[in-house]
């Protein structure tokens, strides 16, 4: 069994991003990323802080626009338009979730697709599904980068994605399909989840339920990627997979923490550099 070490790989990617940022600065371009944070959700604040720190270490200029929970949709859309027009900002990220009175779809659609480093704009979603070059969401993109680094060829493999969110599950399915994997996607209404996971060569799960995937649900030698983030009764960070028992059957497995999490931020930085180059063209 091999641990898919996202922490180690993310450090390598961040070093590459720093190098590229320095090359761009030598040409008079400082890569810039803007983040919009609405309200005071503690998890969102932690994520935004981590992203800002990663940008600073990688030579990317970052600015966080913080707004109270009470901000109107009009004000939020005006801020997005201002950032879209700013030539010094190459990437724009809206930290989700947004308050209930804000129409998330409208907000994401307002982002300039060439600055959409999160890959959530319908334009980029459509290009991803069509197999064209686009911005892909950072978490599933990080999973694909791990496969590449560990020489895991997904072509012809049966993959089961558990969780069908727009942020992880659906783009994960598209990225795997684009690399010619056969993909099964499961969700809350799937009957007999184990019947799907048991026959898969690759199981990717991200739903936020502790021990959802147990050892009897995967076949011997399966590749298991855990995107779930949960806190157990002791306050320890755990994923959606029963790591202790599943790791005895898997050929590759990601730990939580230290697996997919660090890759998400690394891919955000990589997407920001990509945005600079895209806008330069």
Q: Is 56 a catalytic residue?
A: no
Give the H or E element holding residue 20. helix 6-26
Helix (H, G, I), strand (E, B) or coil at 225: strand
Q: Is 118 a catalytic residue?
A: yes
Give the active site residue among 95, 116, 170, 201.
95
Query: ω into residue 79 within 30 of 0, thus cis?
Result: no
- CA distance to 53, 189, 206, 227, per residue, from 93 (Å): 15, 31, 21, 20
Q: Would you give the DSSP letter of residue 95?
A: P
With a CB cutoff of 8 Å and minimum separation 6, the contacts of 82 are none
Q: Which of 6, 38, 93, 59 is nearest to 268 (CA)?
A: 93
Burial readout 134-151 (b: 16 or more C-beta within 10 A, e: otherwise) = bbbbbbbbbbbbbbebee
Give the active site residue among 112, 116, 118, 242.
118
Give CA–CA dist 51/54, Å, rounded: 5
Give CA–CA dist 239/197, Å, rounded: 17
Angle between helices 6-26 and 42-58 (to 10 degrees): 50
Region label for 222, one of left (φ > 0), alpha (ψ between -120 and 50) or beta (otherwise): beta
Give the active site residue among 51, 157, 170, 270.
51
Residues labelled catalytic: 51, 95, 118
């Amino acid at each position: 069994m091999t641990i898919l070490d996202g922490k180690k790989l993310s450090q390598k990617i961040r070093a590459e991003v720093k190098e590229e940022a320095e090359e761009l600065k030598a040409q008079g371009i400082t890569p810039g990323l803007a983040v919009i944070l609405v309200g005071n959700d503690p998890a969102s604040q932690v994520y935004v802080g981590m992203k800002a720190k990663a940008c600073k270490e990688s030579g990317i200029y970052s600015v966080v626009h913080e707004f109270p929970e009470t901000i109107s949709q009009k004000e939020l859309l005006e801020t997005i338009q201002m950032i879209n027009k700013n030539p010094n900002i190459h990437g724009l990220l809206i930290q989700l979730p947004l308050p209930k009175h804000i129409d998330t779809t409208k907000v994401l659609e307002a982002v300039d697709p060439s600055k959409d480093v999160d890959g959530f704009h319908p334009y980029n979603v459509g290009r991803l599904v069509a197999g064209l070059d686009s911005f892909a969401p950072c978490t599933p993109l990080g999973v694909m980068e791990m496969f590449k680094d560990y020489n895991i060829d997904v072509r012809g493999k049966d993959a089961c994605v558990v969780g069908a969110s727009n942020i992880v599950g659906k783009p994960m399915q598209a990225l795997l399909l684009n690399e010619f994997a056969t993909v099964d996607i499961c969700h809350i209404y799937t009957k007999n989840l184990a019947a799907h996971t048991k026959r898969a060569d690759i199981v990717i799960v991200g739903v936020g339920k502790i021990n959802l995937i147990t050892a009897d649900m995967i076949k011997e030698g399966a590749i298991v990627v855990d995107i779930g983030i949960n806190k157990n009764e002791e306050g320890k960070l755990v994923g959606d997979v029963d790591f202790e028992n599943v790791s005895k059957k898997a050929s590759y497995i990601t730990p939580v923490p230290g697996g997919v999490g660090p890759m998400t931020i690394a891919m955000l930085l990589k997407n920001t550099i990509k945005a600079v180059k895209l806008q330069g063209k």
